[in-house]
Amino acid sequence: MKFKLNVPNALTLVRIICTPIVIALFLINIPYGIGYFCALGVYALACFTDFLDGYIARKYNLITDFGKFMDQIADKFITTTAIILVLLAYPTTLNWVAIILVLIVVLRDILISGVRMVASNNNVVIAADIFGKIKSFFLDIGSMVLMLYVGLYNCLSADWTEYVRLVGLSIMIVGVVLCVVSCINYIINAIKALSNSTESK
């Protein structure tokens, strides 16, 4: 797999770089929830690069195997990090739901990574499908709403902020359901691609 530093690939790398920045801003105790709002801003920027790199790659025919592979890795870096941070930010009566959601996302990613490794060993690259893109959209929006909740909770401590959390959690649950659907579809596509690759040899 050859690496070519074009604009889409550079934007993909930006998402990876944004990940530790989001972690630092979220975990450093900055007064009045400023750190959480800054983390939200960086995360929103990273999510925008996900849309932008795909658009530029398709429009200007800059699609590469490296981009297909690393785009998914970069998405998992930033999205999984945000999910873990926001869902486990504060223990509540819904904490068991948060733990289940995190486990589904993380275990799904581990399974997909294993499938991708097998495909890579057979010189097969499997791009993300439409279910994966929709899943990412819901998980990203859910994470943003929950980051907003954490920031508001820290600077206001008002009871109504709990409704913001419930909205974010509901969006996140939809994303996790799509996570499972996309996983099944990805595995089916991988089996087909590997079968075709074996038959062509």
Say yes or no to pLDDT of 116 above 90.
no
DSSP annotation of 90 reads S
- 84 near 109, Cβ under 8 Å? no
The pTM of the whole model exceeds 0.75? yes
Two structure tokens written together for 122: 């057979």
Q: What is the mean pLDDT of residues 88-104?
A: 78
Is pLDDT larger for residue 150 or for residue 124? 150
Domain range summary for the chain, segments of one domain joined by +: 7-200
Write down the pLDDT at residue 124: 76
Instruction: Convert the pLDDT of each residue in 33-57 to its tens digit.
Output: 899 999 999 999 999 988 888 888 8
For the chain, state the CA radius of gyration.
18
Q: Which residue has the tokens 């750190």?
A: 35
Does the domain spanning 7-200 belong to CATH 1.20.120.1760?
Answer: yes
Q: What is the mean pLDDT of residues 153-170?
A: 86
Return the SS3 of 34. Answer: helix
Among 179, 170, 197, residue whose Cα is nearest residue 129? 179
- 39 near 22, Cβ under 8 Å? yes
